A and B are shown apart, each in its own frame.
Chain A
Amino acid sequence: MKLSGAQMLCECLVREGVVEIFGFPGGTVLPLYDVWPQYPQLRHVLVRHEQGAAHMADGYARATGRVGVCVATSGPGACNLVTGIATAHMDSSPVVAITGQVVRSLIGKDGFQECDITGITLPITKYNYLVLKAADIPRVVKEAFHIARTGRPGPVLIDIPRDVFTEEAEYDYPDSVDLPGYKPTLTGHPTQIRKAASLINQSLRPVIIVGHGVVISRAYTELRDLAEKAQAPVTPTLLGISSFPGSHVLSLGMLGMHGTYQANRAVTDADLIIGLGMRFDDRATGKVSEFAPKAKIIHIDIDPAEIGKNVRVDVPIVGDVAAVLRALNGEVQQGRHTEWLAQIDDWRESHASDVVPDSEKLLPQQVVSKLYEVTRGEATIVTGVGQNQMWAARFYRYDRSDAFISSGGLGTMGFELPAGIGVKMGRPQDAVWCVCGDGGFQMTMEELAVAVQEKVAIKVAILNNGFLGMVRQWQDLFFGKRFVATPLLGPDFVKIAEAYGILGLRATRPSEVGPAIERAMEHDGPVVVDFAIQPEENVYPMVPPGGSIGEMLEAPQPVRSRSSARGHRA
């Protein structure tokens, strides 16, 4: 069957089970847009900026475990995808980005809207392609989807010149891929697994650190089995959040720069670290030479290059976390670490990190914990980067798996709204709350139009402190309170919402928070809630940059009472 390159691409996307495509048209992709109507199974979502398309595809991918697809035209369109592709790359998210390119005869001639997008994205994609003949499209698409979603997932970019979209060739979709250099290891080596089990069985003070790999591998049950059997407490990295129930008695809360006191102390005092699907990122380890100084380290990850990259490892195991844990759990004996767990409880009690302060003024911790109460912990929370992200990570209790989606590695402001739209489209039944700062929201708020046009009922909570809050916090603590370029004049976000035809709400006092969230939940459609929070609130504990995670700055102590953030513990 002879088809045009554009038709072939659509046939391939249908074969790969793609439904939503996030994109923005332009000159070089016009032949592709021209054939969309022939493929009603493909739903094109028109974004307002290509960065939004990449984040939506990323959010969609993280929410569904399927490959997210975005499309942009050549030159500026492709360049605008870059931040989103880099975000997906750092967080191992399966995205296929399709870009138009100038016609073949103009490549290398600096043609109108030409840019070397395969060159630009080389270090931020798992792989990329420049397709120079239409006949290659089926093989390339098959490979791209395979590479994006298998092994350690990641973004793949396919760059297609305009005249390749219109060129006709024989269409035949391959059944398999032939990639001799790409064979991810899935099952762990039995000898290594035995060694790991033996370390676990001998350990007196074990700690399990879980990362995004546990979420990607959907290894929730296996993780829980390991933790309960070994009686080892569990601390997630930022992206490991919601892979282990937050109210489980073995849950320590988050690790790292803004981790809980007990998590950071437990890792520092542990005699065994079991790292699962994580990469010992500097935000999690703090000063790496002082990280877990008393511990042996077991590192289980699907990417061999992560092993030994940042910390020395005693027992490396390369493989899919779920598969490795199934084998490992069979060799782990029932542990009892009464003293160790009592020590941890003691830290938890004496240095309560996750207590919501009582205050007449509206505090962000109150907003997030009220969000938890009203949504009964059943929402999916999507954040960008900064204080808002840390509060969302720490003060919502994630008992559901895979309910926290955030830009971790790249730390991208403005990720939350477009990613949230992608999440909601991937999981229409979920309540999806984008937790934003007023700074991050202003970076991508144009995508509100997409929520309206595509009827995506996301809820947006803006923690509005009139500052670029995390930068302000660093200036406050480490730059002599010189607040340079962090006070931020914002628009009236309620009016912004209304201008888009969206319900806009505002809460300025603690008593208004619950009703505003309830109202937002009841409303059938997108909602923006502007929470006017106390501008000077900082995130604590905090490990100063470059410091050891065992040494934290804790909140200056006014009277603090315990409340909802940790109520019932299992």
Chain B
Amino acid sequence: MNAQKHTVTALVEDKPGVLNRIASLFRRRGFNIESIVVGHSEVPDLSRLTLVMGGDEAAVEQVTKQLYKLIDVVKVSDITSDDMVARELALVKVRAPSSARGEIIQLADIFRANIVDVAPEALILEVTGDEEKIGALLELLRPFGIVEVMRSGRVALARA
């Protein structure tokens, strides 16, 4: 876990334009955001987002305060120093002619990745984990020829 990176979660009202407001805030104030993920929460009409950002404590504090200032933002928590569960999902399309397929499937097993699509010359792997785990799998797959990667960015919850 990179100590420089902060994980902030927020509950926001599920209204048109809310993501635009948040993105506009980051752009305007020059905040450097590494990833942002938004989805429905357990509460109707509220979405939960996870964002990962670099920067010092003061920068994170400003982001938190500026987020709070948005009318549609209900709650913001910097959970970096909390005990938290953080995961990322990646879909990896990798070149897999029959000669290489066995080895790729072995790697997928080790990383507990699922093979979600099989084509004559390629496979799509679905893997979840922290950024390091996904990075490690990508490194191992690279020699086979990675065609496309889609990473979700981090989602996180503080432990109960």
Closest to A152 in B: B69
B66/A305 in contact, CB under 8 A: yes
Which of A179-187, A205-213, A456-464 lies at the binding interface?
Answer: A179-187
- In the assembled complex, the Cα of A126 lies from the Cα of B21 at a distance in Å of 11
A179/B71 in contact, CB under 8 A: yes
A122/B21 in contact, CB under 8 A: yes
| A122/B24 contact (C-beta < 8 A), A305-B65, A305-B69 known | yes
- Residues on A with C-beta less than 8 A from B73 are 181
Closest to A118 in B: B17
Tell me how far the C-beta of A141 lies from the nearest C-beta in chain B, rounded to whole angstroms.
Answer: 15
B160 within 8 A of partner (CB): no
B68/A305 in contact, CB under 8 A: yes
B131 within 8 A of partner (CB): no
- Residues on B with C-beta less than 8 A from A118 are 17
A500 within 8 A of partner (CB): no
- Residues on A with C-beta less than 8 A from B24 are 122-123
- Residues on A with C-beta less than 8 A from B72 are 181
Contact with B along A301-335 (1 / 0, CB 8 A): 00111011100000000000000000000000000
B12/A308 in contact, CB under 8 A: no
B74 within 8 A of partner (CB): yes
| A123/B17 contact (C-beta < 8 A), A305-B68, A308-B58 known | no
- Residues on B with C-beta less than 8 A from A182 are 71
A126/B62 in contact, CB under 8 A: no
Q: Chain B interface mostly helix, strand, loop or mixed?
A: helix
- In the assembled complex, the Cα of A309 lies from the Cα of B62 at a distance in Å of 7
- In the assembled complex, the Cα of A307 lies from the Cα of B69 at a distance in Å of 12
- Residues on A with C-beta less than 8 A from B16 are 130
- In the assembled complex, the Cα of A548 lies from the Cα of B38 at a distance in Å of 44
Closest to A156 in B: B71
Closest to B12 in A: A181
Tell me how far the C-beta of A533 lies from the nearest C-beta in chain B, rounded to whole angstroms.
Answer: 39
- Residues on A with C-beta less than 8 A from B68 are 304-305
| A308/B21 contact (C-beta < 8 A), A180-B74, A181-B74 known | no
- Residues on A with C-beta less than 8 A from B70 are 181
B71/A305 in contact, CB under 8 A: no
- Residues on A with C-beta less than 8 A from B61 are 308
- In the assembled complex, the Cα of A307 lies from the Cα of B68 at a distance in Å of 13
B69/A147 in contact, CB under 8 A: no
Tell me how far the C-beta of A203 lies from the nearest C-beta in chain B, rounded to whole angstroms.
Answer: 25
- In the assembled complex, the Cα of A310 lies from the Cα of B62 at a distance in Å of 10
- Residues on B with C-beta less than 8 A from A36 are none
Task: Choose among A127, A304, A307, A308 the residue that contacts B71 (Cβ–Cβ < 8 A).
Answer: A127
Closest to A307 in B: B65
- Residues on B with C-beta less than 8 A from A147 are 71
- Residues on A with C-beta less than 8 A from B20 are 119, 122
Task: Choose among B13, B17, B58, B62 the residue that contacts A305 (Cβ–Cβ < 8 A).
Answer: B62
Closest to B65 in A: A305
Contact with B along A215-252 (1 / 0, CB 8 A): 00000000000000000000000000000000000000
B interface residues, Cβ below 8 angstroms from A: 12-13, 16-17, 20-21, 24-25, 28, 58, 61-62, 65-66, 68-74
A interface residues, Cβ below 8 angstroms from B: 118-119, 122-123, 126-127, 130, 147, 179-182, 303-305, 307-309
Q: A122-B21, A180-B74, A181-B71 are in contact. List 12 more A-B contacts (CB 8 A).
A: A118-B17, A122-B20, A123-B25, A123-B28, A126-B71, A130-B16, A181-B72, A304-B69, A305-B65, A307-B65, A308-B61, A308-B65
Closest 5 CB pairs of A and B: A305-B65, A181-B74, A127-B71, A182-B71, A305-B69
A-B contact list, 8 entries, CB within 8 Å = A123-B24, A123-B25, A130-B16, A180-B13, A181-B70, A305-B68, A305-B69, A308-B65
